[in-house]
Amino acid sequence: MMRLFFLCTILLVFSCREKTKQNANQVKHAEETVVSKPEEVTAAVSALLPVPYSYQLKRAKKWHDASGENWLVLYETGSYIEKGKSYSSAKLAAILYQKSDSGFVEKWKMNDYIQDCELDVTCSFYDDQLSITDIDNNGYAEVTMLYALSCKGDVSPNSKKLIMYEKGKKYAIRGEELMVLQKDTIGGAMNVDASFKDAPPAFLAFAKDYWKKFGFQKYE
């Protein structure tokens, strides 16, 4: 009887140790997959990464997630006239780098542009629009960017684009800025890309709310 008691005690202790070990591993895994709070690194990035030819640095942020240490850098050219051309062009780019012991590795790059515009050209990110989130709580950050594009000589809405990335997968919304002229509105079209069908529903809900925060112009 005493031998059975000791055997049950040993099994109970072993079971408790295993459960404690499993809980510790779960806590450790959760800590490893938490997306850190993004840091503004615009002032530091120029010394670490080369600015692509003809571009100017716009903004940069870094964070840690399950994939490692990530640096997202936004670039713009502003309006310029290419050699041999008569009209204006403009470009923008976003590059995601991952930092390793050997340096920075480019993971993905997004480009857009307006070429040979005879009128006023716009191709720029909205100020303070860069968002780093973990909406689905999977330990991998979503990157969301918004920018304006146009070639026009009148007071009309710019084209507007929202681009979201998670683990290299791209989602997009395309449309127009919304202009409010007293009681009338102009523009505001929003066309959701089919890619969002494969995303968690919370991605599209966030993207639609984020879309409304930028490119809104009100005229009294």
At 149-178, the pLDDT tens digits run 999 999 899 999 999 999 999 999 999 999
Q: What is the pLDDT of residue 189?
A: 95
Comparing 83 with 161, which gets the higher pLDDT? 161
Close Cβ partners of 40 (under 8 Å, ≥ 6 residues apart): 59, 60, 61
Q: What is the pLDDT of residue 11?
A: 46
In DSSP notation, 9-41 reads HHHHHHHHHHHHHHHHHHHHHHHHTPPPPPEE-
Q: Whose CA is closest to 50, among 79, 76, 70, 73?
A: 73
CB 75 within 8 A of CB 123: no
Can you give the pTM of this predicted structure? Answer: 0.83
User: Residue 7 — pLDDT band, cuts 50, 70, 90?
Assistant: very low
